[in-house]
């Protein structure tokens, strides 16, 4: 029965792909082969949507992406592969990014999207397959409802209320702190108005459990101030350039904690800067090979939260963005070449990079995915030198 529910959830979650789930390389799932029936996809021998170094979660939208990602992390086919809890969030990219922190220990709750007070088909099918067990960290709740979202029958829930993304981010931070028994020493502050610069925050929140709080370009909402005060002079990491979070806001933030800006002048480079950054226990510090990476289209901020659980499990890794679906930007190509794995004698003794590609071909084309695959490939050191 669980296998049937899982298959149904994946079928509903991936309408744009026109196919079901096949078998990928290296044990990775093949999720979506455009225009191909499931049985035909399995007979091709070479999956079009999973390459040797990448796996695509090819949903038609962020709702489908979140359902597929959640079932990838928690297949729910055996007793030990169900999550303890699931987060239901509105389709607001800021609320969803803040809620990604609930994927970190001790809660470990992936997220699904609600559509007002009803569940979209993909979310409903996924939730039924997931059958969350109940999380002791949050009073044995099975569902965390964030804002005015669906209330699934027969499941214990804890409700977080708020009238806007800033108060909901504050409420999420309170719940995470209560579950951990302490507030985080690190806080990510991102722009509420420049989503392309803020997208990488969701992946870090899912991995580390650090809160994501939001500001405007020239002002700080009261709920964000209240949350920062509760953290008692934390280290504050501002994600994005002055065009996203202004200098006057940074000056005000310095009264609430020690501030470091992580930024670059466009979303592609901004995400790379965050991927490279490290400050003690904070930051990915991905400056060498052997990592997981998540690739998103900068125009689809809701998908950043949908994909965030992939950064908190399996091949943990930062979120990176492309600015057009059809190609890999030069800055991203350069970064991937910097961290490309190499070997001298035997690739079996090497380390490997793996990329998750999020969305259908409107997000990242098959040609761009193939280019990413090549940039992630382990190669002889001599070839690395010749291409550097």
Look up tokens 């569940």; give the residue: 119
Residue 20 has pLDDT above 90, yes or no: no
Residue 173 has pLDDT above 60, yes or no: yes
Map residue 268 onto helix, strand or coil: helix
Measuring CA to CA, which residue among 218, 259, 266 is closest to residue 237? 259
Confidence of residue 24 (pLDDT cuts 50, 70, 90): very low
Please report which helix (H) or strand (E) contains residue 275, including its range. Answer: helix 267-276
What's the burial of 155, exposed, middle or buried (CB within 10 Å: 0-12/13-18/19+)? middle
Residue 94 has pLDDT above 50, yes or no: yes
How far is residue 72's CA from residue 385's CA, in Å, rounded to a whole number? 36
Residue 383 has pLDDT above 50, yes or no: yes
How far is residue 211's CA from residue 172's CA, in Å, rounded to a whole number? 8
pLDDT tens string 136-172: 999 999 999 999 999 999 999 999 999 999 999 999 9
How far is residue 186's CA from residue 91's CA, in Å, rounded to a whole number? 26
Mean pLDDT of 29-49: 42
How far is residue 104's CA from residue 110's CA, in Å, rounded to a whole number? 9
How far is residue 126's CA from residue 378's CA, in Å, rounded to a whole number? 35
Q: Do residues 121 and 133 lie in contact, with contact meaning Cβ atoms separated by under 8 Å?
A: no
Mean pLDDT of 95-116: 98
Residue 193 has pLDDT above 80, yes or no: yes
pTM > 0.95? no
Residue 374 has pLDDT above 90, yes or no: yes
Cα torsion angle, 223, 296, 356, 3, sign: positive
* pLDDT at residue 140, rounded to an integer: 97
- The whole domain housing 229 covers 2-387
Map residue 32 onto helix, strand or coil: coil
- Mean per-residue pLDDT over the chain, rounded: 89
Burial letters for 87-109: b for 16+ Cβ neighbours within 10 Å, e otherwise? bbbbbbbbbbbbbbbbbbeebbb
- Residue 106 preceded by cis peptide, ω within 30: yes
How far is residue 200's CA from residue 263's CA, in Å, rounded to a whole number? 11
- Show the tokens assigned to 122: 């993909």
Residue 111 has pLDDT above 60, yes or no: yes
CA distances from 11 to 22, 36, 67 (A): 12, 13, 10
Mean pLDDT of 344-365: 94
DSSP-assigned beta bridge partners for residue 320: 295
pLDDT tens string 196-224: 999 999 999 999 999 999 999 999 999 99
Instruction: Provide the number of structural domains found in the chain.
Output: 1
How far is residue 388's CA from residue 18's CA, in Å, rounded to a whole number? 39
What is the per-residue DSSP string for 298-354? Answer: TT-THHHHHHGGGGGSSS---EEEESSTTS--HHHHHHHHHT--EESS-GGGS---E
Cα torsion angle, 35, 37, 38, 41, sign: negative
Q: Name, in order, each residue with C-beta under 8 angstroms of 288's C-beta and a sequence gap of 6 or more.
A: 339
How far is residue 245's CA from residue 247's CA, in Å, rounded to a whole number? 7
With pLDDT > 90 as the criterion, what percentage of the chain qualifies? 83
* pLDDT at residue 385, rounded to an integer: 54
What's the burial of 366, exposed, middle or buried (CB within 10 Å: 0-12/13-18/19+)? middle
Query: Dihedrals φ, ψ of 245, to 5°?
Result: -130, 110
Mean pLDDT of 63-67: 96
Confidence of residue 349 (pLDDT cuts 50, 70, 90): confident
Mean pLDDT of 169-176: 98
- Show the tokens assigned to 144: 């965390």
Rg (CA), the chain: 20
Please report which helix (H) or strand (E) contains residue 224, including its range. Answer: helix 222-230
């Amino acid at each position: 029965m669980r296998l049937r529910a899982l298959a149904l959830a994946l079928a509903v979650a991936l309408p744009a792909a026109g196919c079901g789930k096949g078998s990928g390389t290296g044990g990775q799932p093949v999720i979506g082969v455009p225009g191909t029936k499931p049985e035909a996809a399995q007979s091709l021998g070479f999956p079009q949507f999973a390459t040797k170094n990448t796996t695509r979660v090819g949903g038609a939208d962020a709702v489908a992406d979140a359902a597929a990602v959640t079932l990838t992390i928690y297949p729910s086919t055996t007793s030990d592969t169900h999550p303890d809890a699931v987060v239901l969030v509105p389709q607001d990219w800021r609320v969803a990014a803040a809620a990604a922190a609930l994927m970190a220990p001790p809660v470990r709750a992936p997220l699904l999207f609600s559509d007002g007070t009803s569940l979209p088909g993909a979310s409903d099918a996924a939730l039924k397959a997931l059958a969350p067990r109940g999380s002791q960290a949050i009073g044995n709740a099975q569902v965390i409802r964030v804002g005015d979202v669906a209330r699934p029958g027969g499941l214990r829930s804890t409700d977080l209320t708020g009238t806007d993304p800033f108060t909901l981010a504050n409420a999420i931070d309170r719940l995470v702190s209560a579950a951990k028994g302490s507030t985080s020493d690190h806080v990510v502050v991102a722009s509420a108005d420049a989503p392309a610069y803020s997208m990488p925050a969701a992946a870090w929140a899912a991995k580390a459990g650090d809160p994501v709080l939001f500001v405007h370009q020239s002002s700080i909402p009261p709920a964000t101030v209240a949350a920062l005060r509760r953290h008692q002079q934390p280290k504050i990491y501002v994600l994005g350039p002055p065009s996203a979070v202004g200098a006057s806001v940074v000056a005000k933030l310095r009264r609430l904690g020690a501030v470091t800006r992580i930024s670059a002048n466009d979303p592609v480079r901004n995400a790379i800067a965050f991927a490279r950054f490290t400050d003690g226990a904070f930051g990915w510090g991905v400056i060498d090979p052997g990592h997981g990476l998540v690739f998103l289209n900068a125009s689809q901020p809701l998908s950043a939260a949908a994909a965030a659980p992939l950064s908190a499990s399996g091949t943990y890794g930062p979120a990176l963005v492309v600015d057009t679906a059809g190609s890999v930007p030069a800055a991203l190509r350069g970064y991937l070449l910097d961290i490309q794995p190499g070997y001298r004698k035997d690739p079996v003794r090497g380390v490997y990079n793996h990329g998750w590609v999020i969305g259908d071909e409107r997000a990242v084309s098959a040609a761009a995915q193939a280019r990413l695959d090549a940039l992630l490939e382990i190669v002889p050191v001599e070839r690395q030198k010749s291409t550097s």
